[in-house]
Structure 1
Amino acid sequence: MARILGHHHISMFTDNATQNNHFYTEVLGLRRVKKTVNQDDPQMYHLFYGDQVGSPGTELTFFEMAQQQTRRGTNAISHIGLLVKSYEGLIFWQQRFEQLGIKHGQIEKINNRDALYFEDPDGLPLYLMNHQDGFIPAFWQRYHHSEVPDNVRILGIGPVILTVRELEETGKMLTDLLGYTKVKMTDGEDVYQAVPGEASGEIIIRQQKGQRERQGAGTVHHLALRVKDSAEMKIWAERIETAGYRNSGIKDRFYFESFYFRDRNSILFELATDGPGLMIDSSLEMLGKQLELPSFLEERRSEIEANLSPLI
């Protein structure tokens, strides 16, 4: 039976690739695992950060484009959780953020787990969560050249928080269509897991009335969910199409197959296959170090490079 396996990646907007690259590699200690372009608009960078090989479930990706000012609101993917091993990790990051002048809060509780809110240079809301030495996928690989000590490093993506006007609409989509399990329900907040007991595929939905968020730099474009392979992708595409959701059809993204759809609260979800993966066009040593283009864009390399600002 086809199953959603958890988070695959999350894609956001930045208006400064150089600043973004510095923050996620030098401050957070992630590896830049792909420097490529938006396949629908090759004049903008698409940067990927993650673990040693950019494993599904560890990838944060960013499109660089000039943006209107963000207007925070509802019907949005509002916070991205990142897992750290222990409470000591949160203390380390709190002190590191203070030393580096990174905007952050105090350690508090999210779904009964200790967490630390912070923002990237674009104002993107993120938080670190104490995973309490919990389960993480066996295929996640430590980045060996990070300056962040191994015992406090970021492991991968944790619970993602959505804010929506209609709580039940997104909840029913997750359970009835995608097979998620509702594991907690409180007034105005529900918690769902792709794999019961695993925070690495968790979605927290909070109800919030008011105006819809207007996207800009520092907002999330979409949340991508893991699908095993092409065969299961076809099953999901047919199921979602039959259910009447607006969708893109299956797209070949070279590094994986994708299928985009919007739920009834206009949240954009993507399904993405685990393979072929980010190493299809790169060695481990060179991963993310040079501009890599999918084969169908390679003949336009000179034109594409001429329209991009230098990024080391």
Structure 2
Amino acid sequence: MKIAGHHHLSMLTGNAQRIADFYRATLGLRMVKKSVNQDDPSMYHLFFGDKAGSPGTELTFFELAHAAQTRRGSGAISKISLLVRGKAALDYWNQRFEAMDVDHGEYTTYGGRQALPFEDPDGLPLQLVDLGEGKTPAFWEEWADSPVPAEYRILGIGPVEFAVRKPEETERLLMRLFGFHHAFSNGEERIYQSAEGEAFGEIVIKRSASEKERPGRGSVHHLAVRVSDEEELREWDRRIREQGLHTTGVVDRYYFQSLYFREPNGILVELATDGPGFAADESPDALGERLALPPFLKERRAEIEAKLKPIR
């Protein structure tokens, strides 16, 4: 019973086509699944990641065309890190962002690693972090058709930052329930790792006295963390409930099994199984090329497609 690292992050966007263009053409990720929100199939749910959309590489987006811009604040995921390897990779991305007119900042240090902050078209705060000699999960797969040269490609998700009013409560849950390690502290930032010494399951807790965030375009809806299978997921459900926290119970998302709850500062956290994965209903070579619907929605395909603007 151990959290194996990040599984995916889900965000809100105002324009699915613009997001698809940015994450494919600018960041060089593969769109591994073009689907819909299973709870509201009138909106797209897009998944980007490595060749297979491996757990720990997935960035997903719900399209809310009329959503207002996010008002940043506490009780929210405030920054997402994407891993690259080496200072040369950061230099490449700095030049690429300049050439492609991507909003970005200056080089900085984050959690002891060199980083390059930037924003996506919705203003989502992101940064590229130099992994250095750190490890990545062995099953992450490079996508050979990425427009980014192999040595500079984004590897997967790194540190994820929580901005919270009561950091001690979130820290207690990470350590006592999920078994995270306290790596080190840096001023107002405290770093916790699911795999000791590794960035691919790292959560950074930052104290924030701000008002509660008002989500919208460019906000993070939730973080999902990895569990191995449904049996383990059900045991986590029991343990989380023992802490006095409400859960959704196990939810079948077809591509994985899920469980949702809010940690003590109100951030939505999902536990998701590693499988069966995105090739459950598509060829690995054709992932993301057509609208994929879970079995319970397939009879509604014509109705659903009629309400969606096609994505190129």
Contact 2:36-2:42 within 8 A present in 1 as well? yes
The residue number in structure 2 matching 1:164 is: 164
Contact 2:82-2:158 within 8 A present in 1 as well? yes
Contact 2:69-2:218 within 8 A present in 1 as well? no
TM-score for both structures, normalised by structure 1: 0.99
SS of the residue 2:168 aligns to: helix
Counterparts in 2 of 1:250-269, with a 5 A limit? 250-269=250-269
The residue number in structure 2 matching 1:24 is: 23
SS of the residue 2:176 aligns to: helix
Counterparts in 2 of 1:232-311, with a 5 A limit? 232-311=232-311
Can you list the C-alpha shifts for 1:130-184, whole angstroms capped at 9, x where unaligned? 0013201100000010110000000000001111000101100100111111111
Give unpaired runs (5+ residues) of structure 2.
none
SS of the residue 1:62 aligns to: strand
Counterparts in 2 of 1:91-110, with a 5 A limit? 91-110=91-110
Counterparts of 1:67 and 1:240, CA distance in 2: 32
Contact 2:19-2:121 within 8 A present in 1 as well? yes
Counterparts of 1:29 and 1:68, CA distance in 2: 27
SS of the residue 2:195 aligns to: coil
Whether 2:196 is the aligned partner of 1:196: answer yes
SS of the residue 1:157 aligns to: strand
How far off is 1:185 after superposition? 2.3
Can you list the C-alpha shifts for 1:191-231, whole angstroms capped at 9, x where unaligned? 00001011000000100102011000100000000000011
SS of the residue 1:198 aligns to: coil
Can you list the C-alpha shifts for 1:261-310, whole angstroms capped at 9, x where unaligned? 00111011000000111110010111000000000110111110011011
The residue number in structure 1 matching 2:125 is: 125
When structure 1 is superposed on structure 2, of 230-239 and 64-73 the one drifting more is 64-73
Q: Alignment length, in residue pairs? A: 311
The letter of the residue matching 1:177 is L
The letter of the residue matching 2:60 is T
How far off is 1:74 after superposition? 1.0
The letter of the residue matching 1:157 is I
SS of the residue 1:223 aligns to: strand
The residue number in structure 2 matching 1:152 is: 152
The letter of the residue matching 2:253 is R
Counterparts of 2:131 and 2:181, CA distance in 1: 20
Counterparts of 1:144 and 1:188, CA distance in 2: 40
Counterparts of 1:200 and 1:306, CA distance in 2: 39
Counterparts of 1:246 and 1:90, CA distance in 2: 41
The letter of the residue matching 2:119 is E
